[in-house]
Structure 1
Amino acid sequence: MSGTMIAGKASFALRVGHNPDVLTCIANLSNDEVFTPPELANQMLDALERAWADRNGGATVWADPSVTFLDPFTKSGVFLREITKRLVDGLADQIPDLEERVDHILTRQVFGIGITQLTALLARRSVYCSKDATGEHSIATSFDRDWGNIWFERTEHTWAGGRRSFAVDSLTGEEVVVFSNRRCRFCGAAETDYGRDESLESHAYAFIHTDNIKARIAELFGADMQFDVIIGNPPYQLDDGGNGASAAPIYDRFVDQAKTLDPRLLTMVIPARWYAGGKGLNDFRESMLHSGGIRALHDFPDTNDVFPGVNNRGGICYFLWENGFRGDATVVTHEKGVATSIASRPLIEPGHDAFLRFNEGVRILRKVIAVEGSDVTGHLTLPTDRRFSNLVSSRNPFGLPTSFKGEGRPRGGGVTVYRNGGVCFASPNEVPLGGELIDSWKLFVSRASPGSDDYPHLVLSKPIVAGPGSAATDTYVAVGPFADENAARAAAEYMSTTFFRFMVSLLRVSINVTRGVYQFVPLQDFSQILTDEDLATKYGLTAEDQAFVARFVKPVAWAGAFK
């Protein structure tokens, strides 16, 4: 094969002016196969380039022929393709021959691990211009394996735990051992959902299904590997019946595993839910916020700004982690393709266990605390007795499941029960909890955030003013008790303000609106109705502050309905 032919193929494959880019046109395959848009991949590579230059005396990462890159969960191959493009330009002086330069990059610098057979083939086609790295159309010339440096083989889950019992085989009559309720010891997948035959993908990702990732990487690529840069967009969750809202996250396992490989730089796209919530993410959040290393955090509150049509409540982010870095992070908020706020600040403020999403939100919170005070000097926390969260119940305050139906007609001395879709009625002995609240004035507020995740957002559903003799199912949390109906209505009006709902939004990073997200909302005197204008005056909020709040919090139609 002539050098002219190779050069022609490489030139065609790597030129950037073609339109459209096929990787902008493919649909996501499933919850764990969300393809990264090329625009976002290049944003991340720009940030990576800046960080490399900062730590290497201004040198460009794309001009170093020894730097190695790994995408350990490649799907479309977009990261490896865009890295290859940049290296082809950056190494032109050091390796003038295009064929030699392309082959060097693809065989010695860029590596990937596919998450499924299909995405591995797609990634090879994107990077090598051929699903077979040794094929006639491949722009790499010296591979001796058809998968090149983009590996995939089916991996199986390792089932553990559960219950061991015995049953009789109906065909042979022999006693056999039967296991139930087992889960994968690496990723937590349930055997009932992912114990599949070879006709279906196992979704057991090789990168996190090992006790020794360094040895596993050496086994895959045939040598001890030290990757300078790890980059990618990992699978987000195990969708084993959680329907997205409560499915168990697994992206944290990929982040932790990547750090185990000791790269110089690590950058990943992950859901932003870890900032303040997420099932089983407490240890991960602690590590991300307290262990150092995060040099930059790019926040996209509206998921549609990154992945149009993907419903990932709470937004998306990508972070840039640098091995050994200590210091403030650059926090960037992106809205509709524009970086609207940039600040250098600690990821964790004194007295907090969560990341405060908005730079401007930190400024507004400081103004609130300047008026309300703090339990500890210098901490961005309200005094314990000044938190609205004191009025908010824990989940399911009356012990009634969402499926509770009750009766259709009231009975003497009975309890009115608010449930999804209306009310029903029950006798007092059917309501196991919440006796004090049952007999008081209170509010019921859905614990699920309403509407889509587009901004501006409602944040909260309309509160229900409920009098004595009422309870609610697990659909709602209760707010109260209040001294009388007027105080309850004044509290409902307070919850209608954009100020109130913005203070909630500082910690709301998922569909769930439970007690914890109310801790930045200051208590008020509910003997009077407060408006946004009153609150802006009380806390010294400027027109700029109020305009920022209006970008993220939508006015509600029910404001004024409780007066």
Structure 2
Amino acid sequence: MKDVIFDEQKQTEKSSYNPDVLSCLANLSNDEVFTPPEVANAMLDMLPQEIFSDKNAKFFDPACKSGVFLREIAKRLLVGLEKEIPDLQERVTHIFKKQLFAIAITELTSLLSRRSVYCSKDASGKYSVTEFENPEGNIFYKPAKHLWINGKCLHCGASQKEYGEEQRQGLETHAYQFIHNAIPGELENMKFDVIIGNPPYQLSTGGSKAQSVPIYDKFVFQAIKLKPRYLTMIIPARWYAGGMGLDKFRKEMLSKNRLKTLVDFPNAEECFPGIQLRGGCCYFLWEKDYSGKCHYTNIIDNSKNISYRNLSDYEIFIRYNQSTNIIEKIKDKTSENLCDLVSSVSPFGFGTSERGDTNKFDGCYSLYTSQGIFYIKKNKIKTNISLADSYKVMITRPISGNMEIPPFKVIALIKTLRPREVCTHTYLTIGSFKKEINTHNLEKYLNTRFLRFLLVQSLSGLDISKEKFRFVPLQDFTSSSDIDWTKSIPEIDTQLYKKYELSEEEIKFIESMIRPME
């Protein structure tokens, strides 16, 4: 009898280290991350456990890679259905044929999944835990095709230059069946109780990794269309603040109040050892018939902070539970934020590669770039001519360092620009003043831990942008301000803490999250 494969307690005493092959596979890729068994089980723990005693319940993984979800579900069903179906082989046959279904994302992962779930890559073979009529069993895979319209796939947004048939000869096309209207006929009209998975995360646009477009949201939307009772997936957490086409997804996730549980890892390595995923990751339980607060857990350095949250309180999702009270205190005192003073991306119309002359000349403007200062004519400035002739503060647009493990720096460079000084797309500008002293006061404000902490609450990607300052209260940068800008940065922080009536515990949290600027 093949029941030995389901009993992980029956290991030989000769082996001192016997790692699960699925744990080893978990760090093979950064785009299509394999799920460790312990993470799969943590996700299954969120479901009502009586579902594993229901012989009619159907489970579906639409992005199967290693088969870990089906395998761990099978273990639970084998226990839960023991009384109703006492015969082991009968129980095994019922579970694998009637309850577990999947679509693999590639031909290779379909073979791997069948080997993991059925103990045989050929589900109809004699070594399979139960013999199917066909080699694929209930783990389906069939190559799908992109539908190109104006160089982009209508279904997933992939670039034809990157994923077209001519470019992908002999390679995977990444046209995933589940989101390309290619669901197998056997599954098309099936009603699933649970949809579970770890979908592919992104597709390259043909440029660098930073230019990749998210794709996991399309798997979640497609799963919701199938109207399961429960949906649980593990995905990147960058959707919290939207952007990159994720605004619609963020609104759907936050406003409908169907997220019953959300578990967040700012440092993805705490969930996927060996994987670096900017912005961290999360897994969730969506319930079709649920409407209410979300049981939210934020995990940092194995320390859990738990709260029940109304996810629709803000336009974006506030990641740290301790931050919500601080933001509310600030909103009670100040209604205006700093967004109105922040420039749009590429404030003067110069790309990151723009360069000018290396030597000054009469009437030139200084151009700040990532490679130093160059000099240009005024007629080269494409936008914001008046801003070019005023005092303003320049900050680097890319986030400084990682945003996974505090304390954070957040802003790499903060510098006052004088009239006739401009910058490339590498930077943003903040403010437009006639007096230099106002700019210096703003520069001090940007250096405070207080401001950079509030900026962090909106960050989930790689860059700082105008809307990320939504929680940063606007201050009076003149000499008549209620803040004494002549003081040192730490003293200004102290004034800001007092102004917004922050508690000692809240101040301690801010200063644990944000390190001083050099």
Report the 3-state secondary structure (helix = DSSP H, G, I; strand = E; otherwise coil) of the residue aligned with 1:509.
Answer: coil
Q: Is residue 354 of structure 1 aligned with residue 316 of structure 2?
A: yes
Counterpart residue type for residue 502 of structure 2: L
Counterpart residue type for residue 40 of structure 2: A
Aligned partners of 1:14 and 1:85 also within 8 Å: no
Q: Quick one: structure 1 residues 426 and 119, their matched pair in 2 at CA, closer, same or farther if it must change by over 3 Å?
A: same
**C-alpha separation in 2, matches of 1:251 and 1:370:** 37
1:204-257 superposed Cα distances (whole Å, 9 cap, x missing partner)? 1000111xx7xx34x145x84111000011111111324232222111111111
In the alignment, structure 2 segments of 5+ residues that lack a partner are 480-484
**C-alpha separation in 2, matches of 1:15 and 1:191:** 49
Q: Is residue 364 of structure 1 aligned with residue 323 of structure 2?
A: no
Report the 3-state secondary structure (helix = DSSP H, G, I; strand = E; otherwise coil) of the residue aligned with 2:308.
Answer: strand
**C-alpha separation in 1, matches of 2:324 and 2:255:** 18
Aligned partners of 2:26 and 2:272 also within 8 Å: no
The match for 1:88 is: 78
Report the 3-state secondary structure (helix = DSSP H, G, I; strand = E; otherwise coil) of the residue aligned with 2:311.
Answer: coil
Aligned partners of 1:455 and 1:551 also within 8 Å: no
Counterpart residue type for residue 186 of structure 1: H
The match for 1:44 is: 43
Counterpart residue type for residue 342 of structure 1: I
| Structure 1 counterpart of 2:100, from 110, 115, 119 | 110
| Structure 2 counterpart of 1:98, from 59, 81, 88 | 88
The match for 2:451 is: 500
Aligned partners of 2:280 and 2:404 also within 8 Å: no
1:366-393 superposed Cα distances (whole Å, 9 cap, x missing partner)? 1112222xxxxxxxxxx2xx21122111
Aligned partners of 1:80 and 1:127 also within 8 Å: yes
The match for 1:179 is: none
Cα displacement (A) at 1:6: 2.5
Aligned partners of 1:31 and 1:239 also within 8 Å: no
The match for 2:482 is: none
**TM-score normalised by structure 1 residue count:** 0.84
Q: Quick one: structure 1 residues 198 and 433, their matched pair in 2 at CA, closer, same or farther if it must change by over 3 Å?
A: closer
Aligned pair count reads 502
**C-alpha separation in 1, matches of 2:210 and 2:33:** 17
The match for 1:254 is: 219
**C-alpha separation in 1, matches of 2:35 and 2:301:** 16
Q: Quick one: structure 1 residues 254 and 9, their matched pair in 2 at CA, closer, same or farther if it must change by over 3 Å?
A: closer
Counterpart residue type for residue 503 of structure 2: T
Identity %: 43
Cα displacement (A) at 1:28: 4.1
Aligned partners of 1:151 and 1:220 also within 8 Å: no
**C-alpha separation in 2, matches of 1:371 and 1:158:** 52
Cα displacement (A) at 1:325: 1.5
In the alignment, structure 1 segments of 5+ residues that lack a partner are 54-59, 163-181, 373-382, 558-563
Deviation larger for 392-401 or 90-99: 90-99
**C-alpha separation in 1, matches of 2:392 and 2:197:** 48
The match for 1:450 is: 400
The match for 1:176 is: none
The match for 1:231 is: 196
The match for 1:168 is: none
Cα displacement (A) at 1:355: 2.0
Aligned partners of 2:77 and 2:95 also within 8 Å: yes
Aligned-residue RMSD, C-alpha:
2.2
| Structure 1 counterpart of 2:308, from 329, 344, 350 | 344
**TM-score normalised by structure 2 residue count:** 0.91
The match for 2:158 is: 189
Report the 3-state secondary structure (helix = DSSP H, G, I; strand = E; otherwise coil) of the residue aligned with 1:320.
Answer: strand
The match for 1:33 is: 32
**C-alpha separation in 2, matches of 1:250 and 1:16:** 42
Aligned partners of 2:67 and 2:113 also within 8 Å: yes
Query: For 1:284-363, what aligned pairs fall within 5 Å after superposition?
Result: 284-339=249-304, 341-349=305-313, 352-363=314-325
**C-alpha separation in 1, matches of 2:114 and 2:457:** 42
Q: Is residue 532 of structure 1 aligned with residue 482 of structure 2?
A: no
Counterpart residue type for residue 313 of structure 1: R
Cα displacement (A) at 1:364: 0.5
The match for 1:397 is: 347
Q: Quick one: structure 1 residues 28 and 308, their matched pair in 2 at CA, closer, same or farther if it must change by over 3 Å?
A: closer
Report the 3-state secondary structure (helix = DSSP H, G, I; strand = E; otherwise coil) of the residue aligned with 1:531.
Answer: helix
**C-alpha separation in 2, matches of 1:188 and 1:432:** 31
1:18-67 superposed Cα distances (whole Å, 9 cap, x missing partner)? 8421111125444432111222211111112xxx26xxxxxx12211111
Q: Quick one: structure 1 residues 241 and 326, their matched pair in 2 at CA, closer, same or farther if it must change by over 3 Å?
A: same
**C-alpha separation in 2, matches of 1:16 and 1:101:** 26
Aligned partners of 1:121 and 1:131 also within 8 Å: yes
The match for 1:143 is: 132
Query: For 1:502-517, what aligned pairs fall within 5 Å after superposition?
Result: 502-517=453-468
Aligned partners of 2:391 and 2:416 also within 8 Å: yes
Report the 3-state secondary structure (helix = DSSP H, G, I; strand = E; otherwise coil) of the residue aligned with 1:113.
Answer: strand
| Structure 2 counterpart of 1:201, from 144, 147, 172 | 172
| Structure 1 counterpart of 2:244, from 268, 276, 279 | 279
Aligned partners of 1:158 and 1:185 also within 8 Å: yes
1:385-413 superposed Cα distances (whole Å, 9 cap, x missing partner)? x2112211111111111111101011122
Cα displacement (A) at 1:13: 9.8
Cα displacement (A) at 1:98: 2.3
Counterpart residue type for residue 206 of structure 1: Q
1:167-218 superposed Cα distances (whole Å, 9 cap, x missing partner)? xxxxxxxxxxxxxxx32221122222112366211111000111xx7xx34x
Q: Is residue 7 of structure 1 aligned with residue 14 of structure 2?
A: no
Aligned partners of 1:31 and 1:237 also within 8 Å: no
Aligned partners of 1:249 and 1:279 also within 8 Å: yes
**C-alpha separation in 2, matches of 1:220 and 1:237:** 28
Aligned partners of 1:242 and 1:248 also within 8 Å: no
Query: For 1:363-512, what aligned pairs fall within 5 Å after superposition?
Result: 363-372=325-334, 383=335, 386-456=336-406, 457-512=408-463
Query: For 1:124-143, what aligned pairs fall within 5 Å after superposition?
Result: 124-139=114-129, 141-143=130-132
Cα displacement (A) at 1:357: 2.0
1:254-297 superposed Cα distances (whole Å, 9 cap, x missing partner)? 11110111100001111111122231122222222223321122
Q: Quick one: structure 1 residues 437 and 262, their matched pair in 2 at CA, closer, same or farther if it must change by over 3 Å?
A: same
Q: Quick one: structure 1 residues 552 and 477, their matched pair in 2 at CA, closer, same or farther if it must change by over 3 Å?
A: same
